[in-house]
Structure 1
Amino acid sequence: MNDTIPRTRRRTENRLDQLATYQTWNILQLQLSFSLLFADFTRKTIKTLLQGSDQSPRTCASLSSTNSIKSFNYSKSCTGGRKRRSSKNEPPTVSDVRLVIVGRTGAGKSSSGNTILGRDAFRAAASHSSVTVECTKQQEKLSDRTVTLVDTPGIFDTSEADETVKREISKCINMSAPGPHAILLVIKVGPFSAEERDAVKKVEEIFGKEAWKYTIILFTHGDKVDDIDQAVQEAGEDLKVVLEKAGKRYHIFNNCQANDRRQVLDLLQKVDTMVDDNGGQCYSNITYLEAVKMLDQRESELREVYQKKLEEGIKSVESKYEKLLSEAQQEREQVEKRLQSELEEVKRYYHALESGVRHVVEQIGPAESFDEILNKFHETLKLN
């Protein structure tokens, strides 16, 4: 009886030692899993950033001879990724095309944007008054290409304050960087009014005279004209001057029949022809080049902020669960599952923020500092 008690005690102590060893081994395995997860995430992040920084030595049209930018390596996205033509009579298509819609208030810019994308992407004006007050960018996959469309605000509305107009012009430049493949100047079918002449003048002031090589006149209210070619021939001298500047390139939309997709495909074909005539390149000027440099720098800085926040978040989760695991007995498996779930959610959250970096910096004017960007964005997303 006396020998049985020590043997039982020794077996109990051995069992406790085994449990302690098992618990230590599980903690070591968990720590190793943390290290592997973080190393894998870091490797993928670095690979993504390196791929995102790929640049081509090509420069956009109209600036290749400018001394101030000879050393600037411009993104290959300027060419839009041209695809080979299917026949000798057809121009190669642009797989990623950027369009900017401009024109006076009430001409039908937003409605035309909706017709192109085939959905209610922009808020259209129901009357002559301006509805679109902010520059807006939307994307859609159309006919084996990605179309990025920038709808301009009421920058031609004289009732807007100068500061508002300047801010929206800056956003328009940012959103269409590194430059549009086509500028769609929207003009309502009918008499060419003084407002439309002023709008045309302002377009030239914003984008420069070279932009006419990349401009297509887009007439709206196609339901009110039977033959657009005849209407153009019979147009007044003021409108004919505008058409001459645009290389006599024009198209017409009936926005009341957005389901007529042929009118959209015909427009995109005219864009392809114009891009081909311009050497396959988008339009740009020194303003666009400066915008791209600013956007790339701010995007890189913001990505670094999110990377730091992600690392802090992972360390915080690890620390919290390390304590829980050391105290857990029966619920250890549930705690481990919850740990993995929380780590995945932290990564997903910061990956989502990182994916929207470009959109954030596009909204910021060149005069605002990086601290102002962070403060505004953190207020919006409730980041600490």
Structure 2
Amino acid sequence: MAGVKVKLRKRGSFEHEIPNMSSETPLRMLVFGSSSRDQISLTHSVLGPDVFTADEVNISATKKSSGVVQERNITLVNTPNLQDNDLPESVLHKELRKAVCFSSPGPHAVVIVLDPFHLTSDTMNILKPVVHYFGDRVLKHTLIVLYHERDLTTLSIEDEVKKNKSFRELAEKCVQNYLFFNEEKNRTQGSQKQALFAKVEDMVSEHGIFSNPEFKDAEKRIQIEERFLRKSKEKEIREMFKVLENEHSGEALVSEFKKYEEKIQLECREKAELAVADKLGFTVRVVDYAVAVGKGAFVGALLGFAIGPEGMAVGAAIGAALGGVLGGAANAVWSYINNSFADAHKGTA
């Protein structure tokens, strides 16, 4: 194989939180939604209709979809839709581990797809699993996409949506990162996709990609697994090079081998992601909340311990509120309180 060397592309480094977002940088988006239909519709709009088949109407397992859009590599990782599914906790953990691996070394944005015509008082609840599994820091990396197909002006829709209290609260938690996506305009002009990519780039320029210990651990493990898989294919690669060498020469040989090399690299990456997903775990997020809200949460929990688990959860919530007021960590307080009361409810059910 002398004379033909195709270097593997260097994976994202964790040393630089804010990467240079050139047109060659692949965009990774981790997608949640208020319904499977919304998620599938947005994915079709961005990547094309072949991503999901006609009979796929419910997203019950994490799915990674990639394509080249406007000369750019785009990856959407759709998580199971929690509103359409009643998944056991063990299954949900497994699917979210896959989501971490599929979007490693970290998504450029966590996208929440909503129907602007069906915003209810429960809309806020869509953030709970996101914060619970990824920590409250994910909120500044979260983009709300209000997807609609109706032939109405964006301005009239915005006016109505901004009157909705639940949406205003949701937008506040996500530091006002939201975007209206008109499918009809996207079909005729393609401008909506460009607006989506531009918004994500703006968020990355300000905050960098989203990462946490799970993503960093996943990426390290995936790279190790990739090297192992690549090693096991060395004989196959040498044999393929001989075949290509008999059919091509010069630049044509380099080009064909590079295509084959990229195919092998993609296969190894996908297999490595699946292998690591089975082994990855989630860190208990109480640690993140405690750091954000101060010692008040732990003090409250200790005060409530004397009256049992429910009292402990309520005490922790009150303590978190006090700690948050003192520390100014409103988002962390909100997420901690929600989880504390939810845990208390489970404990008494």
TM-score normalised by L of structure 1: 0.59
Aligned equivalents of 1:288 and 1:110: distance in 2?
Answer: 25
Among 17, 24, 36, the residue aligned to 1:60? 17
Query: Which residue of 1 is the match for residue 275 of structure 2?
Result: 364
Structure 2 letter corresponding to 1:58: E
Over 3 Å counting, the alpha-carbon distance change for 1:156 and 1:358 in structure 2 is farther
2:201 counterpart of 1:272: yes
2:44 counterpart of 1:114: yes
Aligned equivalents of 1:273 and 1:174: distance in 2?
Answer: 24
SS for the counterpart of 2:145 is: strand
The gaps in structure 1 that reach 5 residues or longer are: 1-38, 62-78, 84-92, 318-336, 370-384
Tell me, yes or no, if the aligned pair for 1:150 and 1:176 is still in contact at 8 Å. Answer: yes
Query: Which residue of 2 is the match for residue 183 of structure 1?
Result: 110
Among 89, 97, 117, the residue aligned to 1:170? 97
Query: Which residue of 2 is the match for residue 220 of structure 1?
Result: 147
2:167 counterpart of 1:239: yes
Tell me, yes or no, if the aligned pair for 1:118 and 1:258 is still in contact at 8 Å. Answer: no
SS for the counterpart of 1:160 is: coil
Shift of 1:107: 5.3
Shift of 1:299: 0.5
Aligned equivalents of 2:175 and 2:130: distance in 1?
Answer: 16
Among 54, 57, 66, the residue aligned to 1:139? 66
Structure 1 letter corresponding to 2:201: D
Aligned equivalents of 1:183 and 1:259: distance in 2?
Answer: 24
Aligned equivalents of 1:258 and 1:54: distance in 2?
Answer: 32
Residue deviations 1:65-86 (CA, integer Å, cap 9, x gap): xxxxxxxxxxxxxx2x423xxx
Over 3 Å counting, the alpha-carbon distance change for 1:193 and 1:234 in structure 2 is closer
Structure 1 letter corresponding to 2:21: R
SS for the counterpart of 1:146 is: strand
Query: Which residue of 2 is the match for residue 3 of structure 1?
Result: none
Shift of 1:109: 0.7
Query: Which residue of 2 is the match for residue 294 of structure 1?
Result: 221
Pair member with larger Rg = 1
Aligned equivalents of 1:124 and 1:245: distance in 2?
Answer: 35
Structure 2 letter corresponding to 1:359: E
Structure 2 letter corresponding to 1:251: L
SS for the counterpart of 2:187 is: coil
Tell me, yes or no, if the aligned pair for 1:171 and 1:364 is still in contact at 8 Å. Answer: no
Aligned equivalents of 1:272 and 1:245: distance in 2?
Answer: 20
Over 3 Å counting, the alpha-carbon distance change for 1:60 and 1:163 in structure 2 is same
Structure 1 letter corresponding to 2:170: V
Aligned equivalents of 1:94 and 1:274: distance in 2?
Answer: 17
Aligned equivalents of 2:30 and 2:231: distance in 1?
Answer: 31
SS for the counterpart of 1:363 is: helix
Over 3 Å counting, the alpha-carbon distance change for 1:206 and 1:157 in structure 2 is farther
Among 245, 250, 253, the residue aligned to 2:178? 250
2:125 counterpart of 1:198: yes
Query: Which residue of 2 is the match for residue 282 of structure 1?
Result: 209
Structure 1 letter corresponding to 2:215: Y
Over 3 Å counting, the alpha-carbon distance change for 1:112 and 1:125 in structure 2 is farther
Over 3 Å counting, the alpha-carbon distance change for 1:94 and 1:354 in structure 2 is closer
- Provide the aligned length of Structure 1 versus Structure 2: 267
Aligned equivalents of 2:270 and 2:80: distance in 1?
Answer: 17
TM-score normalised by L of structure 2: 0.65
Aligned equivalents of 1:354 and 1:274: distance in 2?
Answer: 29
SS for the counterpart of 1:259 is: helix
Shift of 1:297: 0.7
Over 3 Å counting, the alpha-carbon distance change for 1:223 and 1:348 in structure 2 is closer
Aligned equivalents of 1:204 and 1:160: distance in 2?
Answer: 18
Shift of 1:353: 4.3
The alignment yields a C-alpha RMSD, in angstroms, of 3.5
Shift of 1:151: 1.9
The gaps in structure 2 that reach 5 residues or longer are: 248-252, 281-349
Shift of 1:119: 3.7
Aligned equivalents of 1:163 and 1:185: distance in 2?
Answer: 23
Structure 2 letter corresponding to 1:115: S
Aligned equivalents of 2:11 and 2:148: distance in 1?
Answer: 43
